[in-house]
Amino acid sequence: MSDIADRVKKIVVEHLSVEEEKVTENASFIDDLGADSLDTVELVMAFEEEFGIEIPDDAAETIQSFGDAVSFIQKNV
């Protein structure tokens, strides 16, 4: 697994207090990992901070799952 995916996973595990095994490629933050809409905003804020990038709101809306987050960050970091 790439370094980016590891870092994203760490943020998700810490922020949503979920077990690492549950954070799979297709795991949806809201449907599978118990996030509410505020959590998803906070996750995006945490990704921005961790990777020093800016994620605009329209892009943030497309980041629904762990896999979405990793691929977005890989493309934009």
Partner 1 sequence: MFDLTGKSALITGASGGIGGAIATALHEAGATVGLSGTREAPLQELAETLGERAHVLPCNLSDAQAVDALPKQAAEAMGSVDILINNAGITADNIFMRMSDDEWDRVINVNLTSSMRLCRAVIRPMMKARWGRIVNVTSVVGVTGNGGQVNYAASKAGMIGMTKSIAQEVASRGITANCIAPGFITTAMTDKLNDKQKDGIMGAIPAGRMGTGEEIASAALYLSSAESGYVTGQTLHVNGGMAMI
- Could you tell me which stretch among 2-10, 16-24, 37-45, 65-73 binds partner 1 (CB under 8 A)? 37-45
Q: Are 27 and 5 in contact (CB under 8 A)?
A: no
Q: Are 13 and 66 in contact (CB under 8 A)?
A: no
Catalytic residue among 3, 31, 32, 36: 36
Q: Is 39 a catalytic residue?
A: no
Query: Should residue 59 be labelled a site residue for partner 1 when binding is judged by CB under 8 A?
Result: no
Shortest Cβ distance from residue 16 to partner 1 (Å)?
A: 14
- The DSSP annotation for 45-67 comes to HHHHHHHT----HHHHTT--BHH
Residues that bind partner 1 (CB under 8 A): 38, 41-42, 45
